[in-house]
Copies of this chain bind each other. A is one copy, B any other.
Amino acid sequence: MTSQTPDIRPKACETCPIRERAVCSHCSGSELEELDQFKYYRTYEAGQPIIFAGDKLEFVGSIVKGVATLTQTMEDGRRQMTGLLLPSDFVGRPGREIALYDVTATTEVVMCCFRIKPFEALLAKTPHLSQRLLEMTLDELDAAREWLLLLGRKTAREKIASLLKFIAKREFGQTVNVLELDICFDLPLTREAMADYLGLTLETVSRQISALKREGIITLKKNRSVTVPDVEKLFRETGDDHAA
């Protein structure tokens, strides 16, 4: 009952909230029509799996709304998030038969899905599509490299601050730096999911958040909604170069 969304297809692209940034953003009207031939929308509830590692990949697609994660799990249960997927992010890998990672909705998620085979075919003959996918993949690779630095070299406190910065940047764009006013946003992740993102335990995440709260760098309501009175001060805790 939760997996099939009422038909919002006709002309959906025109009002699509991710029209400007998704994999299809460079596509012309006729190319969008071609995509529409094998496109469908689908909704997932918070906590629901979207793809299981090892499963045959039936579709690729874009996150339209909500937050999903990509995680790897070791045999003994150790888990590491390897992707945090937000609206406009692309899910799935053209050219791959079998999914390598688990994809899970952490909030309610709406996806714009494309059946994989026809998508691959269109990709091969549509530079607007493949070039955009290349751009997005290169961006993701850069993000992954920042993430490697975070996991390899940052302290627990720096990791937490970096995650908050990431979420704030994604929410408010690059303008966050200049904003004098207080910044507020909701954490789309549980403490455990944050731990999986940061390569920590949930206890350490909780302790570090408490520490930042105690020091007045953040305040939080209901454990999930964060207020940052002084963005500069938070960013100084990330360990990053003061430019970015």
Contacts and interface: CB of A to CB of B under 8 A. Distances in A.
A203 interface: no
A207 interface: no
A201 to B, nearest CB: 11
A59 to B, nearest CB: 17
Given A131-B130, A133-B134, A80 B152 contact: yes
A74 B124 contact: no
Interface stretch (A140-148, A170-178, A217-225): A140-148
Interface string A74-117: 11101110110000000001110000110000000000000000
A199 interface: yes
A216 interface: no
Contact of A141 (B79, B127, B140): B140
A55 interface: no
The interface centre, meaning the residue of A72, A94, A148 with most chain B CB atoms within 10 A of its CB, is A148
Give 5 nearest A-B pairs by CB, closest first.
A152-B199, A151-B151, A144-B144, A82-B145, A80-B152
B75 A149 contact: no
A135 interface: yes
Contacts of A134: 130, 133-134, 137
A153 interface: yes
Contacts of A149: 72, 74, 80, 82
Determine how many copies of this chain the complex contains.
2
B151 A152 contact: yes
The interface centre, meaning the residue of A70, A124, A142, A144 with most chain B CB atoms within 10 A of its CB, is A144
Nearest to A151: B151
Contacts of A142: 93, 100
A138 B136 CA distance: 10
A7 interface: no
22 contacts: A70-B145, A72-B145, A72-B148, A78-B153, A79-B153, A80-B153, A82-B145, A82-B148, A83-B145, A93-B138, A94-B138, A100-B142, A124-B127, A127-B130, A137-B138, A140-B141, A141-B144, A144-B145, A148-B148, A148-B151, A151-B152, A152-B198
